[in-house]
Amino acid sequence: MSVLIFIDQSEGHIKKPSLEAICYGAKLAEKLGVNAEGLVLGSVTEDLADLGKYGVKKIYTISSPALEHMDAQVFTNAIAQAVQSSGAKVIIFANNVDGKAIAPRLSAKLKAGLVSGAIAIPDTSSGFVVKKNVFSGKAFANISLKTDIKIISLNPNSFPVVAGEGKAELIPLNISLEPGKVKVVAVNKVKGEIPLSEADKVVSGGRGLKGPENWGLVEDLAKALGAATACSRPVADSHWRPHHEHVGQTGLAIAPNLYIAIGISGAIQHLAGVNRSKVIVVINKDPEAPFFKAADYGIVGDAFEVVPKITEEVKKLKGTT
Amino acid sequence: MKILVCISKSPDTTAKIAFTDNNTKFATDGVQWIINPYDEWYALVRAIELKEKDASIAIHLVTVGSADAEPIIRKALALGGDEAIRVNVESHDSFYIASQIAAVAAAGSYDLIFTGKETIDYNGSSIGGMLAELLNMPYISLATKFDLNGTTATVSREIEGGEEVCEIALPVVVSCQKGVAEARIPNMRGIMAARTKPLKVVEPTAVEPLTSIVSFELPPAKAGVKLIPADNPAELVRLLHEEAKVI
Ligand SMILES: Cc1cc2nc3c(=O)[nH]c(=O)nc-3n(C[C@H](O)[C@H](O)[C@H](O)COP(=O)(O)OP(=O)(O)OC[C@H]3O[C@@H](n4cnc5c(N)ncnc54)[C@H](O)[C@@H]3O)c2cc1C
Ligand SMILES: Nc1ncnc2c1ncn2[C@@H]1O[C@H](COP(=O)(O)O)[C@@H](O)[C@H]1O
């Protein structure tokens, strides 16, 4: 019996939400008195043994031409076989794009209960109960899992990454896999930007910025902070900003440590995508803007005057610390 | 060509979130119900757009829910579905719902199954994947574009920091999100026509749910905003650094 963590990679690099998943899985394994083990599919350029410092003792690896691109069907088959050979009873995913594609399939295949979007270590005081986000971040539900095998997919930015000591033993698994039916014909990545879903800080702009020509304001602050950029829905709908920056109920839901909202009114549908952020800063010229009710810090003022000054102060801070 | 679109009912996006029965049930008093936005705006509208290009396409809708889901499925028919199937049961967990849809899908031999990206109440983002597994079909999640070329689909899906373009022979299950379709408003003629479109009610198949909800919680209230004068941005940066420790 063990806790098995699916370690997600992209182009040979381990993704940050997977490090969170490893630390979460290791903590859960400790609580259950079992080992935490990892699983990596496809070829990775990084030193996998080094992931031992996050608490995994063993890492199973499977390489096969069929695993070159993430195909939910093929990955599910591979993971199901690894679950069988490792005897894992709890399987952890990051609830990122790959986790959302694979974990539900695996749940149906193994008839293993799934909690997607978990935000805390399971409560095992009576049964096995996992807390997850529901109602787009406006509430939590405690979900009971009674199946023999259990699957949890962990929301990004819900569990801290802490490195200790240790090396993981690498165990290649030899399994045969049928190639997938999905053919990848192109990959279009936005180069040089921090992916919004993984960002630890986000600077976001709304209709208050008046037009795309003013986005330098948002970008300069984001750059000074090392933050990703986001926007409200009307901004994306008006093509001021690309669609993938749209956050909210119908866009991306994010939970960074810091969310700075500039010229965004704070409509309930916008809040639904950002209210899990740890610290929210609102800059709006209207003191009655609803966003202030959801904020930790606020400045009532004109973004065009205030934001460049904040950017200067951030640069000063970075220069001296 | 037959397309099955999975339609769920969700509370209006501005609904007040509260719980009753010792925090075990969502308080539905006064709640307006809508078609889950992802199901309506993206999954259903894309199916309608495909039908506009190829009139031989039939769009079937399925919902798993009791009689109170009926206005929602009628509205979806008004938008443009050809016929609807309601599996007559209070929905349980994702696996239970996916199993009910799988039974409907297997009976109807569909070429294409669309779901929304997620329900805005449960936020599982799970049913599409489960359904694909139960039907042994490929699954493309979080699609941002979808086109048909005969029996091959070209689909863009979200990946971290970008998009991946895939080709896949039908049948396939696809979960739809922003980008897949253009927005539209139902017209009166559609609403009238929907009254006469077939809505079949079928009884659920026996399935054990894999999970159950023990209780709900509301997040702790925010302490309240700390306002900083507009002429003192240095103070904001200091607070973020020293007090909140986020920069
Ligand atoms: C079903 C549904 C789903 C939706 N989903 C989403 C979603 O996912 N995401 C989303 O964002 N929205 C969503 N919306 C839309 C949402 O209701 C709001 O309309 C939208 O969030 C408003 O965007 P905004 O705050 O940028 O613009 P506005 O509401 O126009 O607000 C602009 C703000 O900028 C301020 N401002 C103006 N000038 C300045 C200045 N010089 N300096 C500082 N502040 C200034 C104003 O005081 C105002 O508060 C949805 C709506 C519906 C009905
Ligand atoms: N009760 C239901 N009946 C029909 N389809 C559903 C139901 N619940 C969810 N779905 C579909 O599955 C998608 C994902 O739901 P979920 O996994 O709950 O986030 C939704 O967007 C719908 O398309």
C-alpha–C-alpha distance, residues B23 and A141, integer Å: 10
CB-based contact A194:A230 (threshold 8 Å): no
Q: How many CB atoms lie within 10 A of CB B243?
A: 12
Structural domain span for residue A293: 196-318
Residue spans of the domains in chain B: they are 2-221
CB contact under 8 A, B126 and A103: yes
Answer yes or no: is A185 within a domain. no
Nearest chain B Cα distance for residue A245, angstroms: 10
DSSP string spanning B138-188?
A: -EEEEEEEEEEETTEEEEEEEETTEEEEEEEESSEEEEE-TTSS------H
Nearest C-alpha in B relative to A291: B225
Q: How many CB atoms lie within 10 A of CB B39?
A: 29
C-alpha–C-alpha distance, residues B139 and A97, integer Å: 13
Answer yes or no: is A183 within a domain. no
Question: Can you tell me which residue has the tokens 């965004």?
Answer: A264
CATH code, A275? 3.40.50.1220
Nearest chain A Cα distance for residue B125, angstroms: 6
Residues forming a β-bridge with B128: none
Of A172, A205, A234, which residue sits at a domain end?
A: A172
Q: Which atom of ligand 2 is nearest to the CA of B122?
A: 18
Whether A58 and A8 share a structural domain: yes
From B13, B178, B246, residue closest to A258, measured CB to CB: B246
Whether A237 and A203 share a structural domain: yes
Nearest chain B Cα distance for residue A47, angstroms: 22
Whether A166 and A221 share a structural domain: no
Whether A18 and A128 share a structural domain: yes
Whether A139 and A233 share a structural domain: no
Whether A165 and A26 share a structural domain: yes
Whether A115 and A215 share a structural domain: no
CATH code, A55? 3.40.50.620
Answer yes or no: is A181 within a domain. no
CB contact under 8 A, A182 and B13: no
Answer yes or no: is A190 within a domain. no
Preceding amide of A212 cis, omega within 30: no
Whether A110 and A202 share a structural domain: no
Ligand nearest to the backbone CA of B40 = 2
Tally of domains within chain A: 2
> Which candidate in A100, A157, A190 is best for mutational testing of the B interface (most B CBs within 10 A)?
A100
Whether A138 and A265 share a structural domain: no
Angle made by CA atoms B213, B217, B222, in degrees to the nearest 5: 155
Q: Encode pLDDT of B140-195 as tens digits.
A: 999 999 999 999 999 999 988 889 999 999 999 999 998 899 877 767 677 788 88
Whether A82 and A209 share a structural domain: no
Structure tokens belonging to residue B84: 């609807």
From B121, B167, B236, residue closest to A135, measured CB to CB: B121
Whether A24 and A123 share a structural domain: yes
- pLDDT exceeds cutoff 70 at B98: yes
Superfamily of B2-221 according to CATH:
HUPs (3.40.50.620)
> Which candidate in B119, B139, B157 is best for mutational testing of the A interface (most A CBs within 10 A)?
B139
Whether A218 and A265 share a structural domain: yes
Is the Cβ of B106 closer than 8 Å to some Cβ of chain A? no
Measured between beta carbons, the chain A residues lying within 8 angstroms of B246 are 201, 257-258, 278-279
C-alpha–C-alpha distance, residues A102 and A79, integer Å: 9
Instruction: Write down the mean pLDDT value for chain B.
Output: 94
* Sheet of strand A35-41: strand arrangement: A169-172, A58-62, A35-41, A2-7, A88-94, A150-154, A113-118, A129-134, A139-145, B211-217
From A73, A195, A250, residue closest to B160, measured CB to CB: A195
Tens digits of pLDDT across chain A (321 residues): 899 999 999 888 898 899 999 999 999 999 999 999 999 999 888 899 999 999 999 999 999 999 989 999 999 999 999 999 999 999 999 999 999 999 999 999 999 999 999 999 999 999 999 999 999 889 999 999 999 999 999 998 899 999 999 999 999 999 999 999 999 999 998 776 788 888 999 999 999 999 999 999 999 999 999 999 999 999 999 999 988 899 998 888 899 999 999 999 999 999 999 998 999 999 999 999 999 999 999 999 999 999 999 999 999 998 844
Answer yes or no: is A113 within a domain. yes
- Please state whether beta strands B58-64 and A150-154 pair in parallel, antiparallel, or not at all (unpaired): unpaired
Answer yes or no: is A111 within a domain. yes
Answer yes or no: is A278 within a domain. yes
Tell me: ipTM over 0.90. yes
